[in-house]
Amino acid sequence: MKKLLVKYKSVLKFIITFLVVYAVLTFSYSFYLELSTGEKYYPDYMTHLVAQQSADMLETLGYNSEVIPHPKEASMKLIINDKFVARVIEGCNSISVIILFISFILGFSGRFKITAIYILAGSVLLYVANLVRVVILSIGLYHYPWRKDILHTVIFPAIIYGMVCLLWVIWVNRFSFIASKK
């Protein structure tokens, strides 16, 4: 047994680090969501911010857009040219994806400074990509509402999770301690 633990020490370190970081960040985020309920920003600050920034990007692209709180659920209604096209819910704000990204990066940590910079840069990139994803999805739903299922459940999750995987591969192959041993 000891032989196996020694042999797979790096794998066990990754799994334990990943799970601990993921649990701590997820718990912290859940705590934040509980505290932010009923505040100035509905349904929570990050979801409100993503909805508002998506509407601003749509305005920049020439669409008349607005976001309003959904009267019956914790979401923001995204409206383009007076047509309700999407709900922006907590899952649309990219925080859960960023938590997953950070947990993986810390599981395969590298030097502190590079790890911190990569986490910050990757998180910003994922946040911006998510905003672009929400905007393109909204435009797609505005013009092609009958394509809702494939747009929302296949194409756009593939884009955001594909980006996460790409960032992970770059991290492991270029910046982690594993890459420095090659």
Q: Is the pLDDT of residue 149 over 90?
A: no
Kindly report the average pLDDT of the chain as a whole number. 89
Neighbours of 125 (CB within 10 A): 15
Give the pLDDT confidence of 17-29 residue by residue, as tens digits: 999 999 999 999 9
The reported pLDDT for the residue numbered 139 is 94
Q: Is the pLDDT of residue 176 over 80?
A: no
Give the pLDDT confidence of 117-137 residue by residue, as tens digits: 999 999 999 999 999 999 999
Model pTM?
0.89
Give the pLDDT confidence of 49-59 residue by residue, as tens digits: 999 999 999 99
Higher pLDDT, 45 or 5: 45
DSSP lists the bridge partners of residue 83 as: 80
Cβ neighbours of residue 78 closer than 8 Å, sequence gap 6 or more: 51, 54, 55, 65, 67, 84, 85, 86, 87, 88, 134, 138
* pLDDT confidence band for 15 (50 / 70 / 90): very high
The reported pLDDT for the residue numbered 25 is 97
In whole angstroms, what is the distance from residue 111 CA to residue 63 CA? 45
* pLDDT confidence band for 10 (50 / 70 / 90): confident
In whole angstroms, what is the distance from residue 155 CA to residue 25 CA? 27
74 within 8 A of 90, measured Cβ to Cβ: yes
The reported pLDDT for the residue numbered 39 is 61
The reported pLDDT for the residue numbered 179 is 56
Give the pLDDT confidence of 37-86 residue by residue, as tens digits: 656 778 888 999 999 999 999 999 999 999 998 888 888 999 999 999 99
